[in-house]
Structure 1
């Protein structure tokens, strides 16, 4: 793969041009990651009456409990106004994936994964928390990890 970087006038907008014969999966992943970084959407989390801006890279996982979605970071938990499916769609091209019906997990925050009974997995996160990965989402985890 050839990479070319050109200087442009300061008043013009940066542009990425992708030239290829037939975009394969690797090229599409590159494109999606560039788009995700360009969008770099921040999250809004609520605690009490305060709104906090959260970098998605700081999020360990999202969990839906009693019709509310919570954002779990290293030491704090925030409430989100987004629905779990909206979060899953918005961050699908990053390191996030659906781990269960009520959880979207950040792969970058997984320390280790252990098999459990009935085809489920248990993910140990860097902050010491354990999250269950349902058996129907284990193939998605394997694909994201390249296994």
Structure 2
């Protein structure tokens, strides 16, 4: 892939032009990541709203009609529903791991098969998250297996 950067006159709006034969998945992922840098993920903790970088999110989990955002050491509450998060961030490294969990693939350290076709993901923060058997094929596709 060839990358060209041109200087523009001061005050001009930056522009990105992509020339390709057929946009593949990696190119589309790059486009979505560029577009979504302006998106903000808001989490609530101790009655304060916090802006969260998507790269810091390990997983989202729905518990008792509330959605929580799990980061390295902190847990925030989200005002979004799980299906809204899934739709909003499907082009990132997030995927539905179970009925109540959306997992960040880039935070997985290892994956192990367990009983009845389910998998267990060990995350970089040493937490373990289960992947339901119906979502294992999605994980394999995302990992290119």
> Do the two structures share a fold, i.e. TM-score over 0.5?
yes
TM-score (norm 2): 0.91
1:79 corresponding residue in structure 2: 77
Q: Is 2:36 the partner of 1:27?
A: no
> Separation in 2 of the partners of 1:79 and 1:117?
31
Q: What is the Cα deviation at residue 69 of structure 1?
A: 0.3
Paired residue for 1:110? Answer: 108
Contact 2:29 2:92 survives alignment (8 Å): no
Distance (whole Å) between structure 1 residues aligned to residue 134 and residue 72 of structure 2: 27
- Is 1:132 the equivalent of 2:130? yes
Cα RMSD for the two superposed structures: 1.5
Runs of 4+ in structure 1 deviating by more than 6 angstroms, as ranges, are: none
49, 58, 61: which one pairs with 1:60?
A: 58
Per mean C-alpha deviation after superposition, the further-off stretch among 20-29 and 119-128 is 20-29
CA distance in 1, matches of 2:49, 2:122: 29
Give the corresponding residue for 1:14.
14
In the TM superposition, residue 66 of structure 1 has moved relative to its aligned partner by 0.8
Task: Specify every segment of 5 or more residues in structure 1 that has no aligned partner in the other structure, as ranges.
Answer: none
Q: TM-score, normalised by structure 1?
A: 0.90
Residues of 2 paired with 1:66 and 1:3: CA distance?
48
- 1:35-54 → structure 2 map (5 Å cutoff): 35-36=35-36, 38-39=37-38, 41-54=39-52
Asked whether the equivalents of residues 32 and 91 of structure 2 are also in contact (C-alpha less than 8 Å), the reply is yes
